[in-house]
Amino acid sequence: MTELERLGRPPISPAQHAVLDYAVAATFCGVGFALRRRNPTAANLAFANAGMIVAMSMLTNYPGGVFRSLSFRGHRAGDMVQAVVAGAGPVLLGFGDKPEANYFYAQALSEAGVIAATDWDAASAG
């Protein structure tokens, strides 16, 4: 029994994680298009995050993975890097004090929650 199960919350399965990954990538794309005129730097960061998520998802051995060369446990490290890029990106790119930075901060926090709630020890997702 996992810690989440002991707390009465089922962990996020590999299939659920895949759906979340693709949904977050789509959201980053939408944010990128919404910001492209107002803040091109923020738009580019959103597109970069979307690209990272899609590429990693396509490489992961879980439902939705295409090439399946990355283990589901290995996917966790990529998720952590991507969450840091989302959270630190606005500051590093000079728009950390702008309203659009709040989307990236909130997304990084939500990704940390998903990372913490995912059952990384799940059996093969494929």
Whether 21 is covered by a domain: the verdict is yes
pLDDT tens by residue, 69-92: 999 999 999 999 999 999 999 999
Confidence class of residue 8 from pLDDT cuts 50, 70 and 90?
Answer: confident
Q: Domain tally for the chain? A: 1
Which residues form the domain of 73? 17-113
Q: What's this model's pTM, rounded to 2 decimal places?
A: 0.91
What's the mean per-residue pLDDT of the chain? Answer: 94
Whether 2 is covered by a domain: the verdict is no
The candidate with the shortest Cα–Cα distance to 56, out of 86, 81, 39, 89, is 81
User: What pLDDT score was predicted for residue 10?
Assistant: 83
The answer to whether residues 82 and 49 touch, using CB atoms and an 8 Å cutoff, is: yes
Whether 28 is covered by a domain: the verdict is yes
